[in-house]
Amino acid sequence: MAFMNTNTPEGFRSGFVSFVGRPNTGKSTLTNALVGEKIAIMADQPETTRHPIRGIINREDAQVIVVDTPGVHRPRTLLGERLNDVVRDTFADVDVIGFTVPADEKIGPGDRFILEQIRKTKPNAPIVGIVTKLDKASKDTVGERLVELHELLGEDCEVVPVSAIEAVQLDVLLDILVEHLPEGPQFYPEGHVTDEDTETQISELIREEALQGLREELPHSVAVQIDEMHPDPDNPERLRIYAVLFLERPGQKKIIEGPDGRRLSGIVHRSRKQIIELLGQNVFLDLRIKVLKNWQSDPKALGRLGF
């Protein structure tokens, strides 16, 4: 992060906000809605965000860097343990924590466990309570959740109900987050929406498409890595991308491929469409499947895949 604009107006605020919560509480959807552009993948399955993603929100009076983190949970694999460590490291370095709970689920032991971790790691951090997914619950249920969250966080913490899907109360939430940020310079140039590198963004788009319709454990066994990216020698305006989709067991390959390879073809087709939109240029996508046995619990395999 070499850029830093020190010529910001008096009273300008800037800093880092981390959304923390159980898996599948709508953190990625909320991040994308606030940034105004898709930077984090969204899937129906929990535990699909695997690394912190920075989204940048520019206002005249502030620059907010939102860090979307993996959901904190009691881990079942070495990957799960490493993702929890990533979240703890992330919220140790942020200015404000947005504690997310979904409107349609009661607050439980998992939420209390996460709050405990936050207060151990960052005892003085301002916490803003966020009730997500307003569109999925009745007014009475939302009221119950707001009361529960107030009781959990303490009366001094502000609590905001939002719907990222229907863009309800996003401005209110952003105003509150900005109030808690320190005064400081602009960290990123205007127009930047993320600091994710292109290869990571592309691999995440492919993984999102691969996850569509998967159930049970298989979504957590999917990882994607970009092997190679270069201009097409036969057509310089087209980019050739060679990617590998890793799975843990041979039987999973048949599920991803689908009958006559139709499911895999659909993944390639949808991914290519999203990548073209991201890059603004024509793309040839070659996607192969490899089995990397039990990679979620193998330290060497995790290192190879960047975890």
108 is in an annotated binding site: no
133 is in an annotated binding site: yes
For residue 19, the cross-strand partners are 68, 98
At 88 the pLDDT is 64
Residue boundaries of the structural domains of the chain: 13-180, 198-305
Distances (CA, A) of 117 to 1, 99, 287: 28, 12, 39
Alpha carbon distance 204, 223 (integer Å): 9
Alpha carbon distance 7, 234 (integer Å): 47
Reduced to 3 states (helix: H, G, I; strand: E, B; else coil), residue 208 is helix
153 is in an annotated binding site: no
At 171 the pLDDT is 95
Phi-psi region of 206 (alpha: psi -120 to 50; beta: other; left: phi over 0): alpha
Alpha carbon distance 238, 128 (integer Å): 45
23 is in an annotated binding site: yes
Distances (CA, A) of 118 to 123, 156, 158, 178: 7, 16, 16, 20
Q: Which of 14, 58, 50, 4 lies closest to 34 in space, CA to CA? A: 58
263 is in an annotated binding site: no
Strand pairing of 223-232 and 282-291? unpaired
213 is in an annotated binding site: no
Phi, psi of 194 (to 5 degrees): -160, 155
306 is in an annotated binding site: no
At 47 the pLDDT is 46
69 is in an annotated binding site: yes
Question: Residue 298 has which token pair?
Answer: 């193998």
Domain covering 198-305 assigned CATH 3.30.300.20 in the classification: yes
Within the chain, strands assigned E span: 13-21, 53-58, 62-68, 96-102, 127-132, 159-161, 223-232, 235-247, 282-291
CATH number attached to the domain at 13-180: 3.40.50.300
Alpha carbon distance 48, 50 (integer Å): 6
Is-above-0.75 flag for pTM? no
At 80 the pLDDT is 63
Eight-state DSSP code of residue 214: -
Is 38 in contact with 210 (CB distance < 8 Å)? no
At 2 the pLDDT is 46
Is 223 in contact with 213 (CB distance < 8 Å)? no
The residue ranges of the chain whose pLDDT is under 50 are 2, 44-48, 50
For residue 186, the cross-strand partners are 5
247 is in an annotated binding site: no
At 52 the pLDDT is 59
Is 164 in contact with 32 (CB distance < 8 Å)? yes
Alpha carbon distance 117, 158 (integer Å): 19
Phi-psi region of 128 (alpha: psi -120 to 50; beta: other; left: phi over 0): beta
Burial of 9 (0-12, 13-18, 19+ CB in 10 A): exposed
189 is in an annotated binding site: no
- Cα 126 → chain centroid: 21
143 is in an annotated binding site: no
